């Protein structure tokens, strides 16, 4: 399993002169992932992406479909989206970069923060310290600064590319996701011919954290090709699927 540290995040590399728009970053991340496969001599790999990583995964499929097998997308970006208040607050963190604001963001990302297993305020302090490192702030503001609706629109994967994707795609989305609401996952799952949507109740924007055991089982079975073994999506009268 490979878990690349993408440029521009956390303790990874931060360009001294970063791309000035999310489109430039998407180009950088796509090139970085393909170069990693080349450096390791891997002709083909399965692909898992969460949130923005899901959008990067879709761009990789569109650019180099022959390099990837099965695909799993967790709470993915990449669908048309009118920016939500929660996403607007997340991208606007540096307007008031305090631990209190970070704690509110964590609670919006994960509606039941007890699943984090730690005190939210402690998590918020650590994340704020990391976010205030000059290189991290420089990268973040280069990615998400300016017109936030334009930032949300820019990396949307063309529908014409999605409907041509031959890959088996599993989309896992939380029904209570307030960052990227579940219709985003539904829209993406309706395009590739072999896509499947699994909607998790009582789940926000971190399904792999909030429902770790269920998501681990889904990923293991999907990536192994055991489609017949995948459980049916949870039933709920409020569920659209």
Identify the active-site residue in 14, 59, 205, 211. Answer: 205
CA 51, chain centre distance (Å): 1
Among 21, 177, 211, 222, the one annotated catalytic: 177
Q: Residue 211's pLDDT band (boundaries 50, 70, 90)?
A: very high
The CATH number of the domain where 45 resides is what? 3.40.50.1820
Tell me if 113 is assigned to some domain.
Answer: yes
Residue 193 lies in a domain: yes
Neighbours of 191 (CB within 10 A): 19
Find the domain containing 187 and state its range. 22-228
Active site residue 12: no
Q: Does 238 reside within a domain?
A: no
Task: Evaluate whether residue 11 is within a structural domain.
Answer: no
Does residue 205 carry a catalytic annotation? yes
Q: Count structural domains, the chain.
A: 1
177 is catalytic: yes
Q: Are 38 and 15 in contact (CB under 8 A)?
A: no
- Asked whether residue 90 is domain-assigned, the answer is yes
* Residue 15 lies inside a defined structural domain of this protein: no
Rg of the chain over CA atoms, in angstroms? 18
Position 237 confidence tier, pLDDT thresholds 50, 70, 90: very low
pLDDT digits (tens, 9 = 90+) for 4-57: 999 999 889 999 999 989 999 999 999 999 999 999 999 999 999 999 999 999
> Is the CB of residue 174 less than 8 Å from the CB of residue 200?
yes
Whether 14 is in a domain gets the answer no
Question: What is the model's pTM?
Answer: 0.89
Q: Is residue 77 part of a domain?
A: yes
């Amino acid at each position: 399993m490979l878990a690349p540290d993408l440029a521009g995040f956390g303790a990874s590399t931060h360009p001294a002169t970063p791309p000035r728009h999310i489109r430039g970053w998407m180009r950088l991340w796509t090139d970085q992932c393909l170069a990693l496969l080349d450096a390791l001599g891997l002709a083909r790999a399965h692909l898992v992406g969460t949130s923005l990583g899901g959008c990067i995964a879709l761009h990789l499929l569109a650019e180099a479909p022959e390099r990837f097998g099965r695909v799993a997308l967790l709470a993915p970006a990449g669908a048309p989206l009118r920016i939500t208040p929660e996403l607007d607050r997340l991208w606007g963190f540096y307007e008031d970069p305090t631990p209190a604001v970070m704690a509110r963001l964590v609670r919006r990302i994960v509606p039941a923060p007890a699943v984090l297993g730690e005190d939210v305020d402690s998590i918020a302090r650590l994340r704020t310290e990391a976010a205030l490192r000059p290189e991290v702030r420089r990268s973040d503001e280069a990615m998400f600064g300016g017109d936030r609706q334009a930032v949300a629109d820019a990396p949307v994967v063309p529908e014409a590319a999605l409907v041509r994707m031959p890959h088996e795609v599993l989309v896992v989305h939380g029904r209570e996701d307030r960052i990227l609401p579940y219709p985003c996952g539904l829209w993406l799952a309706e395009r590739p011919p072999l896509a499947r949507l699994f909607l998790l109740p009582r789940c926000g924007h971190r399904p792999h954290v909030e429902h770790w055991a269920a998501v681990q089982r889904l990923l293991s079975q999907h990536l192994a090709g055991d489609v017949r073994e995948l459980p049916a999506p949870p039933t709920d009268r409020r569920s659209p699927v």
